[in-house]
Amino acid sequence: LAGEHFICTPRFSLSMRPWSKLAHAGSGKFEYHVELELRGIPAQAWHLSAAEHILRRSCWIERLHPHTRSRADLATFRLSGRTHDPAGIRRAAALEVVEQIPARTSSDAPSIRTLTFPISIDIVRAEKIRATLPRAPAAPGPDPDRGAGNGNDEGPGQGPGRARRRGRKRRRSET
């Protein structure tokens, strides 16, 4: 092959190109940041996956509130997320939890039933995400060959003897 990206024979032709995640993909963005409160979720369904199931495609969940993660308040499931349109988020839903009931005897099969819980969804806050502006070029700093600075042109975090770290942080070996 030696650098050829196109193979042609009498029976077929093959084009080889590097894989790209952007092939055949569209592009978009969420226009709103929302904070939601879901009420009525039972303790046995207190999971991110239950909230994703309830909200479906109307909202992408960004993070859970600390009280929701720690289960400190099991009355309200709080989360923040992003959406195209807050009006597209439904205000009520029914959560159906599947429950397996053990058989009374070993020869019988267990029975399956569903428990249905009404869920209310409140939008606590919805704010439009502003378009990001291109960043201005960075102001020229001290000469990197000179070291961390001489104390005359100090910027934030650049005092005498303080060099800006580059690359990965490394743990100090305990000796």
For the stretch 126-175, pLDDT in tens is 999 987 656 655 555 555 444 444 444 444 444 444 444 445 555 555 54
pTM of the predicted structure, to 2 decimals = 0.61
Per-residue pLDDT, 22: 82
Nearest CA to 80 out of 50, 124, 35, 46 is that of 35
Domain chopping of the chain, boundaries: 32-92+120-128
Confidence of residue 18 (pLDDT cuts 50, 70, 90): confident
Cα separation of 36 and 121, whole Å? 7
Helix (H/G/I), strand (E/B), else coil: 29: coil
Cα separation of 32 and 89, whole Å? 12
Buried-state track 25-42, b at ≥16 Cβ within 10 A, e below 16: eeeeeeebbbbbbbebbe
Token couple for 174: 């305990």
- What are the contacts of 87-90 at 24+ separation with CB within 8 A? 88/58, 89/34, 89/36, 89/55, 89/58, 89/59, 89/121, 89/123, 90/58, 90/121
